[in-house]
Structure 1
Amino acid sequence: MPEEKKDGEKKLKPCCACPETRKPRDQCIFEKGESECQELIEAHKECMRKLGFKV
């Protein structure tokens, strides 16, 4: 059951946030290693921050 905010709005979980940046980041890390994917990692962190996550 999804968590809900006090106003009844569903709370977004980190695992479900920013799929458009998470997927390419994960694929890059898998294929090339973390050190080669810093730009994608930072793009995903920025997306998460915009949604209110502290990363």
Structure 2
Amino acid sequence: MGAKSTKMAEQPEPAKKLKPCCACPETKKARDTCIIENGEENCKSYIEAHKECMRKMGFNI
């Protein structure tokens, strides 16, 4: 029974896990718009801002 209670304690983590596609919608939209309008090479600050937001959300970028 001890193993079951340990597994139950770990259960909540997957339930709150956010998908990368849904994280940081504000910085993602700004980054994508900039890339479409100006090209990737001209949007380094938007790309870095999105990466930082993703890192803060727990993603390894």
Asked if Structure 1 and Structure 2 have the same fold, meaning a TM-score greater than 0.5 normalized by the shorter chain, the answer is yes
Any idea what SS the aligned residue of 1:40 has? helix
Aligned to 1:27: 33
Once residues 52 and 11 of structure 2 are traced to their aligned partners in structure 1, the CA distance between those partners, rounded to angstroms, is: 26
Is residue 21 of structure 2 the alignment partner of residue 15 of structure 1? yes
Structure 1 letter corresponding to 2:17: K
Q: Which has the larger radius of gyration?
A: 2
More helix by share: 2
Is residue 58 of structure 2 the alignment partner of residue 44 of structure 1? no
| Normalised TM-score (structure 1) | 0.84
Unaligned 5+ segments in structure 1 are none
| Normalised TM-score (structure 2) | 0.77
The offset of 1:25, in angstroms, is 0.2
Task: Tell me which stretches of 4 or more aligned residues in structure 1 moved more than 2 Å.
Answer: none
Once residues 37 and 51 of structure 2 are traced to their aligned partners in structure 1, the CA distance between those partners, rounded to angstroms, is: 20
Aligned to 1:6: 11
Aligned length: 51
